[in-house]
Amino acid sequence: MWRCWREGIFLRELGMTAPILVLGGIWGDQVPHYLLHDLTMTASSVERLEQSDVIAGQMGVKAKVHLKIDTGMERIGVHYYSAHTIQETALLCANVEVEGIFSHFANADSPNLTHARLQLERFNEVLRFYENHNLSMPIRHMANSAAILHLPESHFDMVRPGIMLYGVYPSSEAARSVQVRPVLSWKSRVAYFKVVKSGHPVSYGFTWQSDHPVRIVTLPVGYGDGYFRSLSNKTQVIIRGKKYSQVGRVCMDQMMVNIESNSAFNGDEATLIGESGSEAITAQDLADWAGTIPYEILTNINTRVPRVYITENKT
């Protein structure tokens, strides 16, 4: 939660003037920072809403908030069956503007949408509070990437694409009702080449060895960069337009790739995620090999990995 508002402040310092809604929960001592930097808060409890009202009054400003309703995620937010308490409290807060109200799906990426539809029904019931009291409806939002694809009736006034902004689907089972393409590639370069004899184990723990001489290249990337150790002996890398198997345990800063009898030179590009020639490796591929989801693969590419931003020339 500390990172949430710090990221918002960082965007303000970069000159961003657009509205910024911080979706995480807050502690009371963070409220002044939200107000000073014009960040919209998530009010996930009556206590935090009232606290925001008091602090905003002391600072002589208006706090913008979105009410968080828990319809079945059991993470943060007021339970849907108690939502009237925070909605009624908001009417008494003179220094708070309830700009929006939202919930979050727990299973919108599942082939069985029964629970997701139940959550949607619960949220709609909460929204009837405004109709029943002849009040203006706040901005309503609930749809994450999976719900954007599967539940158009949940789109309301705005949607919250997350992983789809990377051009990646939330799961291999997700519908392709919106076409996306990846905006991210992860690449390294060959740092070392050697011939390894038959029966000579590679990397820590002796988890892999060949029964014949092979050519092994080393890449300067490992779990210290966010390339999971659990991918050891499971994943592939593209070098010179061909897919090769990673072998031995992935190290903190390095990993080895078996190119058999083929050639590679120091400095050759190695594609970890992305396309090269006619071959491709996706974030979903790495997720499948690691036994996780694409979200975890992408969010673990840490700040040690340099970012290169490419602007597409449309002229």
Question: Both 20 and 127 in a single domain?
Answer: yes
Give the residue among 45, 43, 36 at the shortest CA–CA distance from 22: 43
Question: Both 158 and 91 in a single domain?
Answer: yes
Which band of pLDDT confidence, cut at 50, 70 and 90, is reported for residue 6?
A: confident
Question: Both 151 and 196 in a single domain?
Answer: no
Alpha helix (H) residue ranges in 133-233: 145-150
Which band of pLDDT confidence, cut at 50, 70 and 90, is reported for residue 132?
A: very high
Q: Is the dihedral of CA 120, 125, 130, 132 positive or negative?
A: positive
Question: Both 148 and 249 in a single domain?
Answer: no
Domain span at 47: 2-166
> What CATH number does the domain containing 283 carry?
2.40.37.10
Q: Is 174 domain-assigned?
A: no
Q: What is the pTM of this model?
A: 0.89
**Which pLDDT value is given to residue 314?**
60
Question: Both 155 and 242 in a single domain?
Answer: no
Return d(Cα 43, Cα 52) in angstroms, integer: 8
Question: Both 196 and 260 in a single domain?
Answer: yes
End position of a domain, from candidates 136, 166, 196: 166
Q: Is 171 domain-assigned?
A: no
Taking only the tens place, the pLDDT of each residue in 186-241 is 999 999 999 999 999 999 999 999 999 999 999 999 999 999 999 999 999 999 99
**Which pLDDT value is given to residue 2?**
44
Higher pLDDT, 88 or 2: 88
Q: Is 308 domain-assigned?
A: no
Please classify residue 32 by burial: count the beta carbons closer than 10 Å to its beta carbon, then call 0-12 exposed, 13-18 middle and 19+ buried: middle
3-class DSSP state of 21: strand
Print burial letters for 98-132: b (CB count within 10 Å at least 16), e (below 16). Answer: bbbbbbbbbbbbbeebeebbebbebbbebbeebee
Percent of the residues in the chain that have a pLDDT greater than 70, as a whole number? 98
Return d(Cα 124, Cα 312) in angstroms, integer: 41
Question: Both 150 and 270 in a single domain?
Answer: no
Q: Is 33 domain-assigned?
A: yes
Token reading at 68? 């968080």
How many domains does one find in the chain? 2
Question: Both 161 and 90 in a single domain?
Answer: yes
Question: Both 54 and 96 in a single domain?
Answer: yes
> What CATH number does the domain containing 127 carry?
3.20.20.10
Q: Please answer whether residues 104 and 140 qualify as being in contact, where contact means their C-beta atoms are separated by less than 8 angstroms.
A: no
Question: Both 58 and 25 in a single domain?
Answer: yes
Please classify residue 241 by burial: count the beta carbons closer than 10 Å to its beta carbon, then call 0-12 exposed, 13-18 middle and 19+ buried: exposed
Question: Both 133 and 194 in a single domain?
Answer: no
Which residues, in sequence order, are CB contacts of 220 under 8 Å at separation 6+? 188, 189, 191, 253, 254
Tokens 């949408």 belong to which residue? 113
Return d(Cα 136, Cα 155) in angstroms, integer: 19
